[in-house]
Structure 1
């Protein structure tokens, strides 16, 4: 099965690549072009990315792109509530693979704060995200359960996080597996991005997308919130 076999809504456009390396380079080129355009238009550009191991090649390719990184603001769609030094930290991942060389000049807005509770950390991140300029590029991933960012099915705060008219920018979320505690940008903030990209690899993710496209319950599969709005999907086997 290829991504061309899926019945995608008119606003969703798919890009099919033969290998992860080709996908990473093409995505980096697309993102860099959008950031340059935003800088030219408004003097600053904002990029929000997802963590995990899958985006490492994309981060490395993007770090080689030539643009005025001092005019770029970078943040994370979600974060694990762990210190940057922790191996599961998304911020730590960015600092190893993206925020290097010229990209270190970018302004990085970190969601993690060392606080007495996860709720306090989310409140602090929410206040900090008030300073985030409008998002020019959002790069999302997707889990086999249909979650994106840390919008997990069954999480206690999911209904609030999925409110299209919600005023919260960040909420504490719970993942079904360890590490369970997360911080996530909410749907209202994520959906405001000018360019939204979903990057996925493997046949399993195509199966998940097919299931998501066949239903309407966003709480059951939060990725559905993005599948009927302008979205670019980058996929490779």
Structure 2
């Protein structure tokens, strides 16, 4: 299967790259250009990224882009409920691989701070996100189960998180893998991004994407909620 074989919704663009290095380069170039345009028109730009291991090369390439980084606000689509010193922290990943050199001048708005409960941590993140300017660029990944950000199938708060007109910006979620406790931006906030990008690698992710484009409930594969225009998909084998 090739990405060109998929029946994509009108307005969704798919780009096939030869390998992960070219995908990281293309994605960093596209993100930097969108951020430059936002800064040129409104003076600032807001970027929301996902964590995990896949974005490391992209972060490193993006950090090398020539941008007025002090005018960029960066936040996270989701976070593991661990401190920034923990190896699984998405905030730590961004600080280690993106906020380097000139890019360190960007403002990072993290999600997780220790709290007495998951709900309290999510409420604190929700309040912090009230300061987040409108999202200019959103970079998402996708799991083999069709989750994106930390919107996992069967998570207790998924129905609330998937409300298109929901008022919460962040909710506590449960992942099937460790660390299970997560925070995630809700669909209402994610879908507000002016330019959403989806980056995936490998044939299994292409198979998952093909399934998500088929008929079925959004709750079964939450990525379905974002497979609509405007969206650019970046894929490599």
TM-score (norm 1): 0.99
- Per-residue CA deviation, residues 65-104 of structure 1 (Å, 9 max, x unaligned), is 0010000000000000000010000001011100111111
CA drift of 1:179 comes to: 0.9
- Structure 1 residues 37-71: Cα deviation after superposition (integer angstroms, max 9, x where no partner): 00010000000000000000000000000010000
Corresponding position of 2:177: 177
Q: CA deviation at 1:142?
A: 0.1
Gapped runs of 5+ residues in structure 2? Answer: none
* 2:204 pairs with 1:204: yes
Counterpart for residue 40 of structure 1: 40
TM normalised by structure 2 equals 0.99
Q: SS state of the match for residue 219, structure 2? A: coil
Residues in 1 aligned to 2:25 and 2:116: alpha-carbon distance in whole angstroms: 41
Unaligned runs of 5+ in 1: none
| Deviation for aligned residue 1:216 | 3.4
Query: Which residue does 2:155 correspond to in 1?
Result: 155
Distance in 2 (CA, whole Å) between partners of 1:69 and 1:124 is: 26
What is the Cα-based RMSD across aligned positions, in Å?
0.6
CA distance in 1, matches of 2:110, 2:60: 19
Instruction: Give the number of aligned pairs.
Output: 237
Taking the aligned partners of 2:85 and 2:32, their CA distance within structure 1 comes to 28
Greater shift, 212-221 or 138-147, is seen at 212-221
Aligned residue in 2 for 1:216: 216
Query: Over residues 186-234 of structure 1, what are the superposed CA-to-partner deviations in whole Å (9 max), with x where a residue is unaligned?
Result: 0000000000000000000010011111123110000000112311000
State the 1:36 CA deviation.
0.4
